[in-house]
């Protein structure tokens, strides 16, 4: 069941007595919790029947005592536990064992007029626990996993389309590269971007660079392009810019991006059916031509050599086999020189 499925059921008033929302990616957990907090009860009902706890400030006994109450002038009461990963779920003491049994009993037989929501973020709940199995039977469990790096651009395109806007593939890829895998951060930046663009306009790289603060000429995509073309002047300009702005262009991010790009080039070399390149590489068909060009300019052996360079300079940036007196900017200049010569 997806977060969208859960919200769809909630809109249809199909409520469950327990919701365990867990996983490493908090975006969808927050989405479901925010919807429940804002919409399940009316404003009049919330005063007596909606309670929000925070895991580090409470315990299961307090939560369940509240959950066992009956609603006042409402069909349901809502109990939301945010940051549930900070809860103490019973200890290896006699009192802790009794509390664990008390907790287990509630989740096996939850009060149907209570909607208990547990937001367990940044980690997966232990599926081996009896508690997990009890919630599986009595309620809903949703696991929110991280979006893989190679799927981020697609995720951005889908989110933008859901909101009634359009985005060019290269613009989605640029956001994915520079905003990272934090979905909440990406969603916030997209919201700000949409304030300045009409729905009739397709979001392109110029819009992204102007509104999100990414340099138009000096970014990792332009560096990749310059390396593939062996454009020495452009490479030097970009690398010098990165060296002068290390906080905006950290070595670890640049290396990760180059390694990801040329790993796909390596995979392209091994493809027996180049017609399936987009699917096999996990990229938009729009970008396949870029990997074709890179594969032409960097044969298999050279591509393998480049990937070995990334590993070498990743270690050097961490002080391995390095004097410690060389900056990340100097290391990057040295790396790019070896790549294009």
How far is residue 22's CA from residue 254's CA, in Å, rounded to a whole number? 31
Percentage with pLDDT > 70 across the chain: 95
Judge contact between 258 and 266, C-beta under 8 A.
no
What pLDDT sits at residue 287?
82
Same domain? For 198 and 253 the reply is no
My answer on whether 122 and 13 are in the same domain is yes
Do both 255 and 309 map to the same domain? yes
Residue 111 pLDDT: 96
In the predicted model, what is the mean pLDDT of residues 75-87?
95
- Tens of pLDDT, residue by residue over 132-174, are 999 999 999 999 999 887 788 889 999 999 999 999 988 888 8
What CATH number corresponds to the domain at position 323? Answer: 1.20.272.10
pLDDT tens digits for range 194-253: 998 899 999 998 898 888 877 767 888 889 999 999 999 999 999 998 888 888 788 888
What confidence score (pLDDT) does residue 235 get?
93
Q: What is the pLDDT of residue 91?
A: 54
Do residues 335 and 227 touch, judged by C-beta distance below 8 A? Answer: no
Full residue range of the structural domain in which residue 334 is found: 220-340
Three-point CA angle 81, 127, 27, nearest 5°? 45
Cα(49)–Cα(165) distance, integer angstroms: 38
Picking from 90-94, 97-101, 118-122, 253-257, which range would have the lowest pLDDT averaged per residue? 90-94
pLDDT of residue 135: 95
Stated pTM of the model: 0.71
Q: Which of 212, 231, 263 marks a domain boundary?
A: 212
- Do 170 and 246 belong to one domain? no
What is residue 18's three-state secondary structure? strand
Is 90 exceeded by the pLDDT of residue 112? Answer: yes
285 and 333 assigned to the same domain: yes
- How many Å separate Cα 309 from the centre of its chain? 28
pLDDT tens per residue across span 293-340: 999 999 999 999 999 999 999 999 888 876 567 888 899 999 999 999
Residues 302, 200 share a domain: no
CATH code of 160's domain: 1.10.8.60
Return d(Cα 213, Cα 216) in angstroms, integer. 9
Per-residue pLDDT at 211: 85
pLDDT band at 121 (very low <50, low <70, confident <90, very high): very high
Please indicate, yes or no, whether residues 274 and 255 belong to a single structural domain of this protein: yes
Give the residue among 269, 275, 178 at the shortest CA–CA distance from 220.
178
For residues 251-264, average pLDDT: 91
Instruction: Single out the residue in 117, 143, 169 at which a domain terminates.
Output: 143
Please enumerate in sequence order all residues whose Cβ is within 8 A of that of 334, keeping only pairs 6 or more positions apart, or say none: 313
Q: CA neighbours within 13 Å on the CB side: how many for 341?
A: 10
Identify whether residues 26 and 133 lie together within a single domain: yes
Q: Give the confidence band of 68 by pLDDT, cuts at 50, 70, 90.
A: very high
Number of domain units in the chain: 3
Last residue of a domain, one of 161, 182, 212: 212
Task: Tell me: pLDDT of 182 over 50.
Answer: yes
pLDDT at 232: 93
Provide the CATH number for the domain around residue 55: 3.40.50.300
Same domain, 200 and 242: no
Same domain? 24 vs 130: yes
Residue 92 has pLDDT above 50, yes or no: no
Same domain, 120 and 159: no
Residue 119 has pLDDT above 90, yes or no: yes
Span 20-40, mean pLDDT?
96
| Residue % of the chain over a pLDDT of 90 | 64
132 & 155 share domain: no
């Amino acid at each position: 069941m997806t977060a969208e499925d859960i919200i769809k059921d909630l809109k249809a008033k199909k409520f469950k007595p327990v919701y365990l929302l867990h996983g490493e990616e908090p975006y969808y957990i927050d989405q479901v919790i925010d919807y429940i907090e804002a919409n399940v009860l009316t404003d009049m009902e919330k005063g007596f029947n909606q309670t929000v706890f925070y895991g580090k400030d409470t315990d299961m006994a307090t939560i369940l005592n509240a959950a066992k109450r009956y609603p006042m002038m409402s069909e349901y009461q809502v109990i939301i536990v945010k940051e549930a990963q900070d809860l103490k779920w019973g200890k290896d003491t006699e009192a802790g064992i009794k509390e664990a049994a008390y907790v287990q009993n509630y989740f096996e037989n939850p009060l149907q007029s209570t909607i208990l929501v547990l937001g367990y973020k940044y980690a997966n709940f232990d599926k081996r626990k009896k508690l997990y199995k009890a919630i599986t039977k009595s309620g809903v469990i949703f696991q929110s996993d991280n979006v893989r790096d190679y799927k981020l651009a697609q995720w951005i395109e889908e989110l933008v389309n859901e909101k009634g806007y359009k985005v060019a593939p290269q613009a989605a890829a640029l956001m994915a590269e520079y905003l990272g895998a934090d979905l909440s951060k990406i969603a916030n930046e997209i919201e700000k971007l949409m304030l300045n663009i009409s729905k009739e306009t397709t979001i392109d790289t110029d819009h992204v660079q102007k509104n999100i603060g990414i340099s138009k000429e000096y970014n990792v995509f332009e560096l990749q392009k310059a390396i593939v073309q062996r454009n020495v002047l452009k490479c030097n300009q970009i690398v010098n810019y990165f060296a002068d702005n290390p906080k905006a262009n950290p070595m670890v991010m640049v290396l990760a991006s180059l390694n990801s790009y040329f790993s796909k080039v390596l995979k392209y070399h091994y493809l027996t059916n180049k017609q399936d390149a987009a699917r096999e590489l996990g990229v938009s068909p729009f970008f396949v031509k870029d990997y074709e060009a890179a594969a032409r300019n960097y044969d298999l052996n050279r591509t393998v050599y480049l990937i070995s360079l990334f590993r070498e300079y990743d270690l050097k940036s961490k002080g391995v086999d390095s004097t410690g007196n060389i900056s990340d900017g100097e290391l990057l200049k040295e790396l790019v020189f070896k790549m294009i010569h």
